[in-house]
């Protein structure tokens, strides 16, 4: 089996459209691509041709911030879910990056996480 390389985008760095330890990728129902950019503590959104749309998140533990975004998923309604491993939580956003809610905290009990990764 052979695979055809179509195109690539991004490079190493902190500028929008660049990555530092990208950890996960997800697609929304419109085909937009979301990247959990772990080292830059953000989520980046692209068109499926690689055109940068926007990014959200900064380093921290407040709502909408990340210390280690390790996974990203998008449901069929377009809501974006981000696993923030070091902060031991999951955050939910609108497709445009608007923060909606968070759940989880450090621990081994119900509704608690120990560095979730996916």
Q: What pLDDT, in 10s, does the model give residues 22-41?
A: 999 999 999 999 999 999 99
Please give the Cα distance from 75 to 24 (Å, whole number): 15
Ranges assigned E (strand) in the chain: 22-27, 33-37, 42-46, 52-56, 69-74, 80-84, 89-93, 99-103
Question: Could you report the per-residue pLDDT of 30-76, keeping only the tens digit for each?
Answer: 999 999 999 999 999 999 999 999 999 999 999 999 999 999 999 99
Average pLDDT value for residue range 80-84:
97
Question: What is the pLDDT of the chain when averaged over all its residues?
Answer: 92
């Amino acid at each position: 089996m052979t695979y055809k390389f179509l195109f690539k985008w991004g490079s190493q760095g902190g500028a929008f459209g660049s990555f530092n330890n990208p950890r996960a990728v997800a697609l929304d129902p419109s085909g937009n691509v979301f990247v959990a950019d772990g080292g830059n503590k953000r989520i980046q959104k692209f068109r499926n041709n690689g055109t940068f749309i926007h990014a959200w998140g900064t380093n921290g533990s407040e709502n909408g911030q990340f210390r280690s975004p390790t996974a990203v998923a998008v449901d069929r309604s377009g809501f974006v879910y981000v696993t923030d491993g070091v902060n031991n939580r999951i955050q939910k956003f609108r497709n445009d990056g608007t923060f909606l809610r968070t759940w989880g905290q450090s621990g081994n009990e119900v509704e608690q996480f120990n560095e979730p990764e996916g």
